[in-house]
Amino acid sequence: MRFPLRLKFFIFASLLAVAPLGMVAQNLTKLTRDELKSAANEDLTTVAAQLRETFDNTFRGRWLSPLMVIRNGVNSNELGVPQKVSLLTLGLQELPEVVALQLSVEGSDLPILVTNEAFASKLTEAGLNPVETLTTTSQLIQSIGGTGQFGKPIVGQLPQTGDWIATIALPLTTKIAGRQVTLAAKIELSSLGEMVRRHPFAQRGEITVIDQAGRTVLGETSVQLSDRAIVAAAKPLIVAGARADALQPYVRPDGMAMLGAYAFPDWFQWAVVTELSEASAYAVVNQITKQILIVGAIGFFAAACGALIFARQLTHPILQIGTVAAQVGEGDFSARVKNVRSRDEIGDLAKRFNAMIAQLAERLELMKFVSRGTMSAIQRADQDGMHRGGERRRVSVIFTDIRGYTEFSERVPPEVVIEALNQYFDVQTDIVEEHGGDVDKFVGDALVAVFEGDNMEARAVSCSVGIAEAMAGLLEKYPEYNLHVGIGVASGEVVMGAMGARERMDFTVLGSTVNLSARLCSKADPGEVLLDQATRDAAAGLADVRFSAMEPIPLKGYADPVPNYSAGRAEASKSASA
């Protein structure tokens, strides 16, 4: 059923007319609501802050400080290796929640490891190897050192037992055989979970500890809660290392209105979230609100007559904007909103709408400068826009490179260079699109195309052979150009996604497969198509393409010569041999 715009504005204007009545009614409930809100918010923030301080004090006092003492003892040059191992064993006995201590020497895969016997037995009963489970790998230690996270816990859950374990690495100043030595410890965090479960607030509200991915921690199972607005708000602050506590009212996906607060421990990449339903916090205010609605309805009908005149005057320019919007929707970007001279928000809206139409026309032209993959990624992006990062995909990549381009560009005017380059790229792009590929980018005189989906290798090979034939045709048509094309094709996994700076990104593909395609292209003779083994195997069934095994060629970045194949049209190959 159509709801006329003038009727909408009539209702809106009527509501404005009764706004003073609403303001008076609001003052009747403001004091009550503020008091209830203040009490609830203070309770939420206090609980979150208490748990934050408890977590930090527990980590600092119960674990980090004793581990620093152990590290300082192990750091002593007066102790030999046996005495240092004894110090680790003694420290493990005095710290029951520390389930493993180890000394790792840089470049060695055999650390000195001391484990808690009771916890090791628990791991064994769960079918785990205690040594493998409790050993802190050299890669993790290097990662901690590389990010400057020495002394900061890295937390994870053992799915087989449900235990939450924190890993801490502390560097030593002494060296063994000139190599860096690191003290690593693993701490079982069940005591923090008990603090949360036994807190008195948990009887009437909810306490949740989340990590930077929005998953719960310290519980038996990890649950994803990113669909809650308060969790979504806290996640980027955890990643950014922010430590500002905050309050936030929000509505859960199930429709329940909530009040929430969160605080960030200094030593953990977590947020402590406390929540209380608005129904519980504002029960008295809800009753007063019902009375306000009744009074507001009466005021609305009283003001309706005066609002009708206002609505009629207001809607005329809005309807004109709607007409222009329909023209733009049909593709007419020359349409503009005219004869709106009011010096108010409506006039500003008309000017902004005209500016928007001009910008849309510009963006339509800009779409020609990006690949279909880029446009698809933008359309799939959420309301926050594109984010840097990528995902693994299996694709076939084509590199084409125009041979003789440098000499050609030096002997002819720039206008001819651009005209010829565009002509060559037009032909190549048409062939790529005919075979279901996507042109990723143009790099100087080179073209990069990506093929995904079913039979991508076969389509990529057919496309490459087609480009080689088309370029040969252009050479016959423009022999004075003396331009040839070499082509390389490789298939495999790549990383596809948005990369670059925050304000200037490029949606592209990266990885060894892309590099291999480029290397093969650089080795291809003029008019030749070189394939890697994976592409040739997948496209071997092409009836109109003939493959010839080539001598393995050495490529930059590869230890051994790389097997490769030449591809050409089967009929052409037979004619040549005849």
The pLDDT tens digits for 91-128 are 788 888 898 988 888 877 788 888 888 999 999 999 99
CA distance 396 to 489: 7
The CATH code of the domain that includes 65 is 3.30.450.20
Give the confidence band of 246 by pLDDT, cuts at 50, 70, 90.
confident
CA distance 271 to 245: 9
Residue 459: the pLDDT is 95
Residue 384: the pLDDT is 52
Structure tokens at 314: 């207001």
Give the domain-ending residue among 187, 212, 243. 187
Residues 193-203 pLDDT 10s: 999 999 998 88
User: Do the domain assignments include residue 539?
Assistant: yes
263 or 241: which carries more pLDDT confidence?
Answer: 263
Averaged pLDDT, 185-199? 91
Shared domain check, 328 and 217: no
Check pLDDT > 60 for residue 574. Answer: no
Give the confidence band of 351 by pLDDT, cuts at 50, 70, 90.
confident
Residue 313: the pLDDT is 63
CA distance 96 to 319: 74
- Alpha-carbon separation of residue 319 from 6, 322, 331, 411 (angstroms): 9, 5, 19, 60
- Alpha-carbon separation of residue 170 from 70, 72, 232, 512 (angstroms): 10, 10, 33, 36
Q: 569 pairs with which residues across the strands?
A: 545
Residue 447: the pLDDT is 93
Shared domain check, 395 and 345: no
Residues 248-283 pLDDT 10s: 788 888 888 888 888 999 888 899 999 888 777 766
- Range(s) of the domain holding residue 499: 372-577
SS3 of residue 559 by DSSP: coil
Region of 241 on the Ramachandran plot (φ > 0 left; ψ -120 to 50 alpha; else beta): left
Full DSSP string of 197-232: HT-GGGGTSEEEEEETTSBB-SSSS--B-TTSHHHH
Shared domain check, 115 and 247: no
Q: Rounding to the nearest 10 degrees, give the CA dihedral for residues 410, 413, 415, 417.
A: -30
Shared domain check, 510 and 486: yes
User: Do the domain assignments include residue 332?
Assistant: yes
Residues 202-233 pLDDT 10s: 888 889 999 989 999 988 888 999 998 889 98
1 or 142: which carries more pLDDT confidence?
Answer: 142
Residue 368: the pLDDT is 46
- Alpha-carbon separation of residue 429 from 24, 435, 484 (angstroms): 67, 10, 16
User: Do the domain assignments include residue 51?
Assistant: no
Do residues 98 and 67 lie in contact, with contact meaning Cβ atoms separated by under 8 Å? yes
Structure tokens at 392: 């693994």
Shared domain check, 509 and 460: yes
Averaged pLDDT, 507-511? 81
Give the confidence band of 14 by pLDDT, cuts at 50, 70, 90.
low
Beta 484-501 vs 529-531: how paired, if at all? Answer: parallel
Check pLDDT > 70 for residue 376. Answer: no
Averaged pLDDT, 173-179? 77
Give the domain-ending residue among 282, 297, 327. 282
Q: Distance between alpha carbon 476 and the CA centroid of its chain, in Å? A: 49
Give the domain-ending residue among 131, 161, 187. 187
CA distance 577 to 262: 77
User: Do the domain assignments include residue 63?
Assistant: yes
Average pLDDT, the chain: 81
User: Do the domain assignments include residue 94?
Assistant: yes
Residue 121: the pLDDT is 92
Name the least confident of 418-422, 521-525, 537-541, 556-560.
Answer: 556-560
Residue 70: the pLDDT is 84
Shared domain check, 423 and 523: yes
Do residues 88 and 113 lie in contact, with contact meaning Cβ atoms separated by under 8 Å? no
- Alpha-carbon separation of residue 372 from 364, 444, 518 (angstroms): 13, 20, 21
Shared domain check, 503 and 390: yes
Shared domain check, 82 and 71: yes
Shared domain check, 113 and 97: yes
Residue 294: the pLDDT is 72
* pLDDT above 90: percentage of residues in the chain: 28
Shared domain check, 272 and 153: no
Check pLDDT > 50 for residue 576. Answer: no
Shared domain check, 470 and 572: yes
Residue 73: which H helix or E strand, with range? helix 65-74
Residue 573: the pLDDT is 46
In residues, how long is the chain? Answer: 578
CA distance 535 to 491: 5
Structure tokens at 164: 């939450």
Number of Cβ within 10 Å of residue 396's Cβ equals 32
Check pLDDT > 70 for residue 13. Answer: no
Give the confidence band of 2 by pLDDT, cuts at 50, 70, 90.
low
User: Do the domain assignments include residue 39?
Assistant: no
CA distance 115 to 110: 15
Residue 320: the pLDDT is 73
Sign of the dihedral defined by the CA atoms of residues 267, 268, 269, 273, in that order: negative
Dmax (CA) of the chain? 100
Averaged pLDDT, 534-562? 91
Check pLDDT > 90 for residue 470. Answer: yes
Averaged pLDDT, 141-148? 84
Residue 544: which H helix or E strand, with range? none
Q: Rounding to the nearest 10 degrees, give the CA dihedral for residues 90, 93, 96, 98.
A: 40
Check pLDDT > 60 for residue 578. Answer: no
SS3 of residue 483 by DSSP: coil
CA distance 148 to 146: 6
Shared domain check, 350 and 290: yes
The CATH code of the domain that includes 518 is 3.30.70.1230
CB within 8 Å of 511: residues ≥ 6 apart: 492, 493, 494, 495
Q: 550 pairs with which residues across the strands?
A: 564
Do residues 321 and 342 lie in contact, with contact meaning Cβ atoms separated by under 8 Å? no
User: Do the domain assignments include residue 31?
Assistant: no
Check pLDDT > 80 for residue 11. Answer: no
Burial zone of 282 (CB within 10 Å; 0-12 exposed, 13-18 middle, 19+ buried): buried
Across 73-87, 152-166, 312-326, the highest mean pLDDT is recorded for: 152-166
User: Do the domain assignments include residue 145?
Assistant: yes
Q: How many domains does the chain have?
A: 4
Residue 45: the pLDDT is 87
Residues 282-307 pLDDT 10s: 665 666 666 666 766 676 666 666 66
CA distance 45 to 245: 8
Residue 575: the pLDDT is 45
Check pLDDT > 70 for residue 312. Answer: no
78 or 408: which carries more pLDDT confidence?
Answer: 408
Residue 371: the pLDDT is 47
CB within 8 Å of 21: residues ≥ 6 apart: 295, 296, 299
Looking at residue 524, what DSSP letter applies? P
